[in-house]
Every structure is written in C-alpha cells, then in structure tokens.
Amino acid sequence: GEDVEQSLFLSVREGDSSVINCTYTDSSSTYLYWYKQEPGAGLQLLTYIFSNMDMKQDQRLTVLLNKKDKHLSLRIADTQTGDSAIYFCAELSNDYKLSFGAGTTVTVRA
C-alpha cells in the first residue's frame, strides 16, 4: 500500500502558528485530508484539498499542496490550547480507501 509520512511531534507556543507536514506517495490521489483526534475520541475531519488545487484556506487553517513533491502541509494560525491533539493526514485512493499517516501530536504550551 501507499506510505503516508508525518513527523510525530510538534510543540508550539500559544498564539504562534503551527505547521504540520506530510508526504504521500500515490500521485493519483484525488483528495487529501487532515483529521484531528482528541484524546480517547474518534477522528474529526478538519479540512481537505482536491488534487487540482494548490492552496485552501478555511478560517485559521491553511492547506498547501505541492503535487510535484507529493507534499501536503497544514498551517494553524494563532494556535490555541484547544488545538492540542493528534493530526492525521490521509490520501484517498481510486478505490475510495484512505491511507493514513502515523499522526503528529501537537502540544500547545502557554
């Protein structure tokens, strides 16, 4: 299967921007997603980007897609304590299956 890779940990000061990076391998992926998981809970879809887009902004979230390098990033502006969670990137394959990265644990410090 495809491998989606993310760094495992990110520590950020409250009020700063967070940037979470992801690389994927399936160049035919049509959609790429960012999910958020709080402790002991399921995954919540934060945002997604279609493969023909370079950037998508949704309030404090900005997604950048570099198809040439198969690189996806999620920027969270003005990071708050409620943003502390695990963030997963995922790619959608042609058979509608999702492949997930291992998740980046974001810790927001005061």
Partner 1 sequence: DGGITQSPKYLFRKEGQNVTLSCEQNLNHDAMYWYRQDPGQGLRLIYYSQIVNDFQKGDIAEGYSVSREKKESFPLTVTSAQKNPTAFYLCASRGKGTSGKGQFFGPGTRLTVL
In this structure, what token pair is assigned to residue 37? 């998981």
Compute CA 16 distance to the chain's CA centroid, rounded to the nearest angstrom.
17
How far, in Å, CA of 83 to CA of 30, rounded? 27
Contact residue for partner 1 among 48, 61, 64, 83 (CB under 8 A): 48
β-pair type (31-37, 43-50): antiparallel
Contact residue for partner 1 among 17, 27, 45, 77 (CB under 8 A): 45
- Least Cβ distance, residue 43 to partner 1 (angstroms): 4
Is 39 near partner 1 (CB under 8 A)? no
* Segment lying near partner 1 (by CB under 8 A), choices 11-19, 59-67, 75-83, 98-106: 98-106
Is 30 near partner 1 (CB under 8 A)? yes
Contact between 64 and 17 (Cβ < 8 Å): no
Contact residue for partner 1 among 21, 26, 31, 60 (CB under 8 A): 31
Q: How many residues bind partner 1 (CB under 8 A)?
A: 26
Taking the CB of residue 106, how many other CB atoms lie within 10 A of it?
Answer: 20
Of 100, 102, 82, 89, the residue nearest 12 (C-alpha): 82
Is 92 near partner 1 (CB under 8 A)? yes
